[in-house]
Amino acid sequence: MRSAEVQAVYVIDDDASIRRSLNRLLTSSNWTVRTFDSGEAFLAELGELSLGCLIVDVELKGMSGLDLVRQ
């Protein structure tokens, strides 16, 4: 069951094929999806994003997924 508050799913992964696959899967289930190739790219747009759920690769290049979630 989907919470009425969650408006989007944000996928943060440095692997383009993973981003594409998750985007297709989630979009086919009627989720609004945005993908980002780094934690830094996600944080740069954070102020413009609606409430959502994160799917984060733990081993990102640059800022790790754990560091991103901590922020």
pLDDT tens digits, the chain, 71 residues: what are they?
Answer: 455 677 899 999 999 999 999 999 999 999 999 999 999 999 999 999 999 999 999 999 999 999 999 98
Residue 3, domain member (yes or no): no
Domain that holds residue 39: 8-70
Task: Report the predicted TM-score, pTM, of the whole model to 2 decimal places.
Answer: 0.88
Q: Are 8 and 22 in contact (CB under 8 A)?
A: no
CATH number at residue 61: 3.40.50.2300
Q: From CA 68, how far away is CA 30, in angstroms rounded?
A: 26
Q: Are 69 and 25 in contact (CB under 8 A)?
A: no
CA distances from 32 to 53, 59, 70 (A): 10, 24, 24
Residue 13, domain member (yes or no): yes
Give the pLDDT of residue 7.
85
How many domains in the chain? Answer: 1
Residue 12, domain member (yes or no): yes
Residue 2, domain member (yes or no): no
